[in-house]
Amino acid sequence: MNPFRLLKLIARTGRIAEPAPAAPVADTEHPIPKALRGSVQVRHVDTGSCNGCEIEIGAAFGGVYDVERYGARLVASPRHADVLAVTGVVTHNMVEPLLRTVEATPRPRLVVAIGDCAHDCGLFAGAYGVAGPVSDFVDVDLEVPGCPPRPEAIVEALRRVTGR
């Protein structure tokens, strides 16, 4: 990993073990609606990943990192979700299911792109089955960089959403 990229990641993430800041840092381009603060229901959508991000999401919701203590909970239906956590590049076969899932999620909703593949196709850029990154098809409100991102980064992103 490029040392400057690592330093930028450390500066952006900060210390994970510290208590949550009093006021969350709001993204100026996509402010988090106040209706979503406190507790959110998260629906995970895999649009064509290598499953590295899914393992890290499982760890983030597992017993060690326990993101549920910050008010984020996985749900099985997009109709119950406030946040869509999208992983992987969008393949040609997953364009329509992704759009249907976003349409089925009630507003206000947030879309979180998890991993480098969801952001810019990562290692799969230019592959024949790849339609593009998530932002080409839906509006992305928050991105979690990394290949795969560390569970701490996923927890921090969901803490930003819940405001805790």
pLDDT mean values, one per 10 residues, the chain (164 residues) = 76 65 47 65 91 91 88 89 91 92 89 91 86 90 89 88 74
Contacts of 5 (CB under 8 A, 6+ apart): none
Alpha-carbon separation of residue 92 from 58, 118, 123 (angstroms): 26, 14, 17
pTM above 0.95, yes or no: no
Confidence (pLDDT) at 28: 45
Confidence (pLDDT) at 126: 83
Confidence (pLDDT) at 25: 45
Pair 68, 162: CB distance under 8 Å: no
**85 pairs with which residues across the strands?**
44, 112
Confidence (pLDDT) at 164: 63
Q: Is the CA virtual torsion 131, 134, 135, 137 positive or negative? A: positive
**73 pairs with which residues across the strands?**
41
∠ at Cα 76 (89, 119), nearest 5°?
20
User: Span 39-162: which CATH code?
Assistant: 3.40.50.12280
Confidence (pLDDT) at 122: 83
d(CA 136, CA 44): 18
